[in-house]
Structure 1
């Protein structure tokens, strides 16, 4: 099973890229987001790869970072989501935006992706709420820091507040949602103590 491709970018198409690895060209299907971020033709590139094997074919899906690859895998655990829809979601939302949408139950954000209707969007936020890429505990802190109303000055306090609630025994996803909710009521530049108190009030509801 191929897990990574490192070589030179040989050619790209509407939804694929060919990587020249020592004279052998590997074609990987990619999201539009990944394709936009690729270097120029002939330049060095490394793709994290998901290999899907079928009875009659082997397909490679390439991503520039593990977060995209991990969400590609996780999205397909939901009924009705295959590779095509998973890539469509990754075309529309970055990994951090997917995490935020799932964490906050933002069906509208997920519904912007091609092939994702209201029913599937609901299924996504319901089934994926407790699933995140491995090692993404800190990702929920980023979700809170990216919430509407957050500023660069508030990002530190937000992260500290989420961390404090996690240290009290709450799950990262619970802490992030609670702090995000508290932020919307406290304003864009709250103090850490106020965010913690507000988060605890949200969790007590």
Structure 2
């Protein structure tokens, strides 16, 4: 099992990189976020990896952080989510945004990733809401809004107004904390908007 590579960045393509480790080039598929984080060609890189083995393939997937790798594994535990879909989700959402979306029950945010329809997004949110709490988020710090109900509606409304997923989830969580669990939708929207606009 190959868990990590340290070497020289030899090549970067749209969906993978080649890392030269002692003269051997390892092709590593990765999310666009990880590929962007690798730095310039010819530079030293360290990348966390997951090795996938099938009947007719061996594939390395690379991650800028161990947290991203953990999320890849968790996403892969959901039926219908293969490595391509998991990487598409991690390319679209930072791990902190993904954690906030799942915590808030916001399938619409997850469905922004290419290849993720509403049904699959709902399955991801429903299956992972109890498992996601234990995972670290590389963006950190943003509390997740309580799952479902008015909170999810308000997060969705803020996203439609152009706020980033992490900003929306944080604002709604803070508003819910100020107003209490019984807060009405209108009050929650007004308070969350004020907090997000700061």
TM-score interval, smaller chain:
0.7 to 0.9
**RMSD (CA atoms):** 2.8
Report the structure number with the largest CA radius of gyration: 1
Alignment of 1:181 with 2:188, yes or no, is: no
Equivalents in 1 of 2:23, 2:134: separation in Å? 34
Structure 1, residues 59-111: CA drift from partner, whole Å, max 9, x if none?
A: 00001101111111100111110001001101100000100000001111101
Q: Which residue of 2 aligns with 1:104?
A: 104
TM-score, normalising length: structure 2: 0.73
TM-score, normalising length: structure 1: 0.71
Equivalents in 2 of 1:57, 1:112: separation in Å? 29
Larger RCO (CA under 8 A, 6+ residues apart): 2
Structure 1, residues 21-76: CA drift from partner, whole Å, max 9, x if none?
A: 11111110011111112111110000000011112221000011011111111001
**Given that residues 15 and 30 in structure 2 are in contact (C-alpha distance below 8 angstroms), is that contact kept between their aligned partners in structure 1?**
yes
Kindly tell me: are residues 127 and 140 of structure 1, through their superposed partners in 2, closer, same or farther at Cα, counting changes over 3 Å?
farther
Segments of structure 2 that go 5 or more residues without pairing to the other structure are 146-165, 179-187
**Given that residues 70 and 133 in structure 1 are in contact (C-alpha distance below 8 angstroms), is that contact kept between their aligned partners in structure 2?**
no
Equivalents in 2 of 1:99, 1:24: separation in Å? 36
How much does 1:140 deviate?
7.7
Kindly tell me: are residues 133 and 64 of structure 1, through their superposed partners in 2, closer, same or farther at Cα, counting changes over 3 Å?
farther
- Please list every run of at least 4 consecutive aligned residues from structure 1 whose deviation after the TM superposition is greater than 6 angstroms: 137-140
Q: Which residue of 2 aligns with 1:125?
A: 125
**Given that residues 94 and 139 in structure 2 are in contact (C-alpha distance below 8 angstroms), is that contact kept between their aligned partners in structure 1?**
no
Segments of structure 1 that go 5 or more residues without pairing to the other structure are 152-176, 190-205
Kindly tell me: are residues 14 and 124 of structure 1, through their superposed partners in 2, closer, same or farther at Cα, counting changes over 3 Å?
same
Number of residue pairs matched?
Answer: 164
Kindly tell me: are residues 149 and 89 of structure 1, through their superposed partners in 2, closer, same or farther at Cα, counting changes over 3 Å?
closer
**Given that residues 19 and 27 in structure 1 are in contact (C-alpha distance below 8 angstroms), is that contact kept between their aligned partners in structure 2?**
yes
Q: Which residue of 2 aligns with 1:165?
A: none
